[in-house]
């Protein structure tokens, strides 16, 4: 059986990771990227894949949200600027995001593998990732690309609520908490992410179309792209993902 306890702190803040990972005998170690529009459900799938197949979820958005909880005097100028881009729904400059990934080689070396969620988002970031992995003598196994019609994406995003304390993710209709606006896991207050407001959603979708959607071709040309329909329940989508991975040589 695969058993994992990932050290998320090492991803959020850098430093030495202390992940406890035992993969089932004969299980593959997956090193993958999750692609897809904002709100398509990448984070939801990342959690399921990480729990069941072992790779560590490495979300660049989570690093920025963790930085938001720091005292402003503890943030580097680049991180403070990144939070302003994020609030508006714009992409953070490539060099800031690439620097964050480059500074965390221990997370990329995780014995359970990794799932990059939200990185790369531009062709320049994808080229940088190739070079970072080359230095570590690693290669990607697959790039999972989740597709969903835009009206369903907007409804997933606008109904999302996030726990202000433990960051657990809910949805007002598809995954409501037991008590309205209260986190089932820690009792924290559920909030609407700043970038889930309509003006920021529009900017994020435009950035996705312009900068991130060309990555599908980039990875298709390298034989890594695995397209997955993101309709249905999280469990249905996970089953499609696992089947698509099992079918790869």
Is 204 known to be catalytic? yes
- 3-state class of 171 per DSSP? strand
Tell me the closest approach of the beta carbon of residue 74 to ligand AP5, in angstroms. Answer: 19
Is 160 catalytic? The answer is yes
Residue 156 interacting with ligand AP5 (CB under 6 A): yes
Site for ligand AP5 in 1-60 (CB under 6 A): 36, 38-44, 59-60
Contact range with ligand AP5 by CB under 6 A, out of 10-18, 23-31, 70-78, 116-124 = 116-124
- Binding piece for ligand AP5, criterion CB under 6 A, among 70-78, 127-135, 166-174, 213-221: 166-174
Look at residue 61 and give its three-state secondary structure.
helix
- Nearer of residues 17 and 205 to ligand AP5, judged by Cβ: 205
For 80: left if phi > 0, alpha if psi spans -120 to 50, otherwise beta; the answer is alpha
Nearer to ligand AP5, 23 or 125 (CB): 125
The CA distances from residue 68 to 12, 62, 179, 194, in Å, are: 11, 10, 26, 12
**33 within 8 A of 116, measured Cβ to Cβ:** yes
C-beta of 51: minimal distance to ligand AP5 in Å?
14
How many CB atoms are closer than 10 A to CB 199? 10
CB of 93 vs ligand AP5, minimal distance in Å: 7
- Does residue 91 interact with ligand AP5 by CB under 6 A? yes
- Cα→Cα distances 103→16, 51, 96, 169, Å: 11, 25, 11, 27
Say whether residue 132 binds ligand AP5 (CB under 6 A). Answer: no
Report residue 149 as tokens.
């019609």
């Amino acid at each position: 059986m695969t058993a994992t306890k990932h050290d998320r702190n090492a991803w959020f803040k850098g430093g030495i990771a202390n992940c406890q990972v035992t993969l089932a005998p004969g299980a593959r170690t997956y090193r993958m990227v999750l692609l897809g529009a904002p709100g398509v459900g990448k984070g939801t799938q990342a959690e399921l894949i990480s729990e069941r197949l072992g790779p560590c979820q490495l979300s660049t958005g989570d690093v920025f949200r963790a930085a938001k909880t720091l005292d402003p005097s503890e943030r580097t100028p680049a991180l403070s600027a990144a939070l302003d881009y994020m609030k508006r729904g714009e992409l953070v400059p490539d060099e800031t995001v690439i620097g964050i990934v480059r500074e965390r080689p221990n997370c990329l070396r995780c014995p359970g593998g990794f799932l990059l969620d939200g990185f790369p988002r531009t062709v320049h970031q994808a080229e940088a990732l190739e070079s970072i992995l080359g230095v570590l003598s690693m290669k990607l196994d697959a790039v999972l690309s989740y597709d969903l019609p835009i009206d369903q994406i907007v409804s997933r995003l606008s109904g999302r609520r996030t726990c202000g304390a433990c960051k657990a993710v809910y949805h007002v209709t598809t995954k409501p908490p037991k008590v309205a606006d209260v986190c089932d896991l820690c009792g924290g207050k559920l909030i609407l992410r700043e970038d889930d407001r309509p003006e920021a959603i529009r900017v994020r979708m435009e950035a996705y179309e312009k900068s991130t959607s060309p990555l599908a071709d980039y990875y298709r040309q390298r034989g890594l792209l695995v397209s997955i329909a993101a309709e249905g329940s999280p469990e249905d989508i996970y089953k499609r993902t696992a089947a698509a991975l099992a079918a790869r040589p």
